[in-house]
Amino acid sequence: MADVIIVPHLHAGGAAAATLIAAVLSPKPDMVLGVATGSTPLPIWSALAAMRLDMSRVSAFALDEYLDLPPGHPESYAAVVHREIAVPLGLNPRKVHTPDAQADLRDAPSAYESAIRAAGGIDVQVVGIGRNGHIGFNEPGSSLSGRTHIANLAAQTRRDNARFFESFDQVPTRCITQGVGTILDARRLILVASGRRKADAVAAALEGPVTASVPASALQLHPDVVAIVDEDAASRLSFADHYRMSAPHGDAA
């Protein structure tokens, strides 16, 4: 079972996740960090930035990237990761990786897998969760053992991400994403979720059956998952009292 930490609000969640990452970084300054875009992880990056750690030797890998955007588009995840994560954390841009949406798409997925392997694998991967239970852009129905691949975005995901574009129509329909199997290869996973609109997905992921209908439920198969969820996102969990008591990190719960 995942180690579930229920925090009062997203900010406390960011601090808790940043503390976990800093604990890995301290003995391993060249750690490999799996980063996630989206709104929920933002407090993690600001909490980490506030710690003023030397992260110049860290390698970072994003979970996914849109396809069919022009190179350098401000909402491409290459641009988002640079702006929202790499710059505030002081990462070396040469060590920051997103799947290459401009490359030959026959080669880009395996090239990304190779790059992760060459870096030694991911030490800590941060993941958000979609309202439909996706992780990365692994939408419902995705293989739970899949590797990095090209995929279509669910309509729900495109609607949720339309806030970053001028209109729904401008949200790409295709992406390249780490597969669930790739994500599960990370040595430690930190799942973050916030808000009532995520409550059903969080309950299904943490307490429901392991099923391709809820790709995040595959996290139950990983031996080292910390789920940091705020009270709203935890509101549909059946065992919330148990999780609250089991929070191991004094500063988090």
139 catalytic? Reply is: yes
* Residue of 65, 139, 185, 230 marked active site: 139
Least Cβ distance, residue 178 to ligand PGA (angstroms): 12
Residue type, 145: S
Least Cβ distance, residue 239 to ligand PGA (angstroms): 23
75 catalytic? Reply is: no
d(CA 58, CA 38): 21
Cβ proximity to ligand PGA: between 39 and 143 the closer is 39
Residues in contact with ligand PGA, counted by CB under 6 A, come to a total of 6
Provide the phi-psi class of 194: left if phi over 0, else alpha when psi is between -120 and 50, else beta: beta
132 catalytic? Reply is: yes
Pairing verdict, β 96-97 and 174-177: unpaired
Distance of CA 155 to the CA centre of its chain: 20
Cβ proximity to ligand PGA: between 108 and 127 the closer is 127
Cβ proximity to ligand PGA: between 38 and 172 the closer is 38
- Of the candidates 10, 24, 51, 55, which has an alpha carbon nearest to the alpha carbon of residue 252? 10
Least Cβ distance, residue 136 to ligand PGA (angstroms): 7
Cβ proximity to ligand PGA: between 39 and 220 the closer is 39
Cβ proximity to ligand PGA: between 128 and 179 the closer is 128
By CB under 6 A, tell whether 182 contacts ligand PGA.
Answer: no
By CB under 6 A, tell whether 13 contacts ligand PGA.
Answer: no
Least Cβ distance, residue 55 to ligand PGA (angstroms): 22
- Of the candidates 172, 233, 171, which has an alpha carbon nearest to the alpha carbon of residue 202? 233
- Those residues whose C-beta lies under 8 Å from the C-beta of residue 245, and which sit 6 or more positions away, are none
By CB under 6 A, tell whether 101 contacts ligand PGA.
Answer: no
**Under rule CB under 6 A, which residues in 28-47 are in contact with ligand PGA?**
38-40
d(CA 112, CA 97): 8
* Residue of 132, 138, 149, 161 marked active site: 132
d(CA 226, CA 78): 26
Residue type, 11: H
**Whether the Cβ atoms of residue 22 and residue 61 lie closer than 8 Å to each other:** no
169 catalytic? Reply is: no
d(CA 56, CA 92): 5
Contact letters for ligand PGA, residues 120-139 (x by CB under 6 A): --------xxx---------
d(CA 117, CA 119): 5
By CB under 6 A, tell whether 178 contacts ligand PGA.
Answer: no
Q: Which residues are catalytic?
A: 64, 132, 134, 139
- Site residues, ligand PGA (CB under 6 A): 38-40, 128-130
